Chain A
């Protein structure tokens, strides 16, 4: 029986289902689930029908209204009306954010319904083919048992997928759609706002404008930061791992423990400590002054150059132990046959490092490097908790150490320039995709997946 069920049913296209389906299939186009009900799958059919009914109910009750408001995003302002008792009463106007959110949600519901419609139609046709070729049609009970066997993925992945849909995809689409509106505290468009096409993108990309100038300088710094943060950490972390793993180094466990301890402390705690230690009246400045090494406090967070160097150096403190830890695992993973063969051929230690260890590490850690690089472009914690993006010039929204992400945070959460924030988010995504695509396609592990296996 198991064999019978693992046999793949014919893959059918929607076109064929519509063209060749009998009246039961054709009726399913309107009365969803009929094809199932008419072919012994009553439970499944009823379930599909239930979805159709609730969809129609939703559309009549809310959906059509939501969609009708979507193009205009509302226009009624809050008004004061004199009520019968002689008091002024506030009458709620339209709230564009809510309209936008409900509109996006409705579009998702419609899309889900269309998917369900197609799936059930194909299913109906598949059942027809099965009946014609007199093959077995699953009962409801068999369908349920299959959910714990060959269809286990449906059972296990439904909830995680719904989580991603509701807490990632829908919010993202909602946020992206904000990029095409004038939803912002500027000119007070917080309650009522309109679509304004690509205006925001124009403002962000225009290097002459105020926002545009800040965007390009933040973008440049983001890339400089990511390059330094990634490669310095990688190289130094690897050297540290090699030094600790050297045959002649004693107390390997102890050294590793010292460095691991610094990552074991929650990052936000250590970063906040670093921040307070390096302020004008912070421990470092005060102690250096008391020792007579400096006269005036060092401007760690006041001078743009100082601030930029400081965040990169502190990021080394944060990142090197991580790299060391991860690299150690891979170093121990290098097939010992490779070393033995090299030794047999008379290679020295340095040659072995250059010809085996390094290429192997670069090969294996290429995906890791890419994720670290993209992670650094998105490194919110280090910048926000250390420098807060500052120092900031008067009139700017972005500070001198702000990355695209921290600027995005400031624009949306602090300044409530939602539209510009959304554009910055999209720009960050574009930068990251370019980096990921270019590096991933050029990395050796992509071109030659099996080289070291």
Chain B
């Protein structure tokens, strides 16, 4: 509540300066609070002394050896392998889900057909089931079609990450809804087919939402860990980065791997954070569009 009072005070001309200064101090304190864990993990990744036990906030010595070990010590937890696995899965997932999301959203936004409303209602109802309730069942299905062993696990994970993306159409549909329909109509009068309208008019006009979809679907395999864990089970050579990092914090590894975990976390976070900050404006635009629709 305190914040709101300062907000009100600020509007009063008398205490304007003091209030304003106070707001900035307050924001700085909050920002420090929010950035502390991030600073902490970066410091830990550079820490020279091993182990998860620390007595000071700042490390006693700095080193890059945690990063070097992360990428060279492949005996127990093979991080480079996990990195490649995740990269392959992410690339394919990204292609398939972008195609799915864009086509479904375009159809729901622009076409009118009998199953349109039922489809949207169905997605809403399915969305109410806990996401991984069906995980065990999916595992059995993948096993029944022979995708649960060896390198087929990658295919299985790609399918799991991309198959249901047709349900996440809301944001892209909201964006398509904001493109004026008259453009489509004009093109159709000029003799364009729906397909041509989709590929030559709608897609080129939708750069923000395409960037958004591509990046979010690319990021999904890097940050998911439940599905990957259920499907990989004990196949350690198929692990993705998320499971790898998670295992580094388990009792048997935490002592020798804690600083490497921090290094791994930084390595994974930098590209994701960069992508996220880059697409932040698309995120806001997409949200605003979706809410409007």
Question: Knowing A174-B134, A266-B223 touch, does A243 contact B195 (C-beta < 8 A)?
Answer: no
Q: Which size bracket describes the interface of A in this complex?
A: 35 or more
Question: Is A138 an interface residue, CB under 8 A from the partner?
Answer: no
A239–B3 contact, CB under 8 A?
yes
Q: Does A166 contact B (CB under 8 A)?
A: yes
A328 contacts which chain B residues (CB < 8 A)? Answer: 284
**Number of B positions contacting A (CB below 8 A):** 97
Find out whether the CB atom of A418 lies under 8 angstroms from the CB atom of B136: yes
**Nearest neighbor of A365 in chain B, beta-carbon distance:** B291
Q: Residues 120-140 of chain B: 1 if any A CB is under 8 Å from the residue's CB, otherwise 0? A: 000111111111111111101
The residue that A272 contacts in the complex, of B16, B113, B245, B274, with Cβ under 8 A, is: B245
Q: CB within 8 A of A172: which of B119, B129, B261?
A: B129
B100 lies within 8 A of A152 (CB): no
- Please determine whether A265 and B53 come into contact, CB atoms closer than 8 angstroms: no
Minimum CB distance partner of B286 in chain A: A329
Which chain A positions have C-beta within 8 A of B291?
330, 333, 364-365, 367-368
User: What's the Cα separation between A449 and B125 when bound, in Å?
Assistant: 21
Partner among A240, A260, A263, A286 whose Cβ is within 8 Å of the Cβ of B54? A286
Known: A148-B195, A265-B273, A333-B292. A258 touches B133 (CB 8 A): no
Chain B, Cβ-Cβ closest to A289: B55
Is B249 a contact partner of A276 (Cβ separation < 8 A)? yes
A46 at the interface (CB under 8 A from B): no
B267-291 at interface with A (beta carbon < 8 Å): 268-269, 272-274, 276-277, 280, 283-285, 287-288, 291
Does B208 belong to the interface (CB within 8 Å)?
no
Cα A200 to Cα B47 with chains together (Å): 52
Which chain A residues numbered 236 to 288 have a C-beta less than 8 Å away from chain B? 236, 239-240, 242-244, 246, 248-250, 255, 257-270, 272-277, 281-283, 286-287
**Pairwise interchain contact A244-B287, C-beta atoms closer than 8 A:** no
Q: In the docked arrangement, what's the CA distance between A409 and B130, Å? A: 10
> Are B133 and A257 in contact, CB atoms less than 8 angstroms apart?
no
- B111 contacts A153, C-beta separation under 8 Å: yes
Q: Which residues of B contact A384 (CB under 8 A)?
A: 226
In the complex, the chain B residue whose C-beta lies closest to that of A257 is B277
Tell me if A341 is interfacial: C-beta within 8 Å of chain B. no
- B62, CB-defined interface residue at 8 Å: no
In the assembled complex, how far is the CB of residue B279 from the closest CB belonging to chain A, in whole angstroms? 10
Docked Cα-Cα span, A98 to B145, in Å, equals: 12
Bound-state Cα–Cα, A339 to B36, Å: 38
Residues on B with C-beta less than 8 A from A171 are 134-135, 137-138, 141
**Do B126 and A172 touch across chains, with their CB atoms under 8 A apart?**
yes
Residue of B nearest to A177 (CB): B137
B3 touches A159 (CB 8 A): no
Contact A268 B140 (CB under 8 A): no
In the complex, what distance in Å separates the CA atom of A301 from the CA atom of B33?
21
Contact of A97 among B7, B140, B222, B276 (CB under 8 A): B140
Roughly how many angstroms separate A259 CA and B276 CA in the complex, as a whole number?
12
- In the complex, chain A residues whose CB is within 8 Å of the CB of B284: 325-326, 328-329
Contact A429 B167 (CB under 8 A): no
Q: Across the interface, do B24 and A405 meet the contact criterion of CB distance under 8 Å?
A: no
Q: Are B283 and A325 in contact (CB-based, < 8 A)? A: yes
1/0 per residue A170-198: CB within 8 Å of B? 11101100000000000000000000000
Taking the nearest CB of chain A, how far is it from the CB of B243, in angstroms?
10
The answer, yes or no, to whether B63 is at the interface (CB within 8 Å) is no
Pick the residue among A102, A172, A262, A433 that contacts B134 (CB under 8 A): A172
Set A153, A170, A250, A348: member contacting B141, Cβ < 8 A = A170
Interface stretch among B37-45, B64-72, B74-82?
A: B37-45
A250 in complex: contacting residue of B16, B24, B26, B287, CB < 8 Å: B24
A-B CB contact pairs (8 Å), 18 listed: A101-B144, A145-B193, A160-B166, A171-B134, A171-B137, A243-B3, A243-B27, A258-B31, A258-B35, A262-B34, A264-B276, A276-B258, A290-B56, A317-B34, A330-B288, A405-B132, A421-B133, A428-B129
What is B's interface to A at a CB cutoff of 8 Å? 3-4, 7-8, 10-11, 16, 20, 23-24, 26-27, 30-31, 33-35, 37-38, 40-41, 52-57, 100, 103-104, 106-107, 111, 113, 116, 119, 123-138, 140-141, 144, 159-160, 162-167, 193-195, 198, 219, 222-223, 225-226, 230, 242, 245-246, 249, 254, 258, 261-262, 265, 268-269, 272-274, 276-277, 280, 283-285, 287-288, 291-292
7 nearest CB pairs, A to B: A160-B166, A171-B137, A171-B134, A163-B163, A156-B103, A264-B273, A329-B284
Known pairs A171-B137, A428-B129. 19 more at Cβ < 8 A? A152-B111, A172-B134, A175-B136, A236-B3, A248-B16, A258-B31, A262-B38, A268-B246, A272-B245, A283-B54, A287-B57, A290-B55, A317-B37, A329-B288, A348-B11, A349-B11, A405-B130, A413-B230, A429-B128
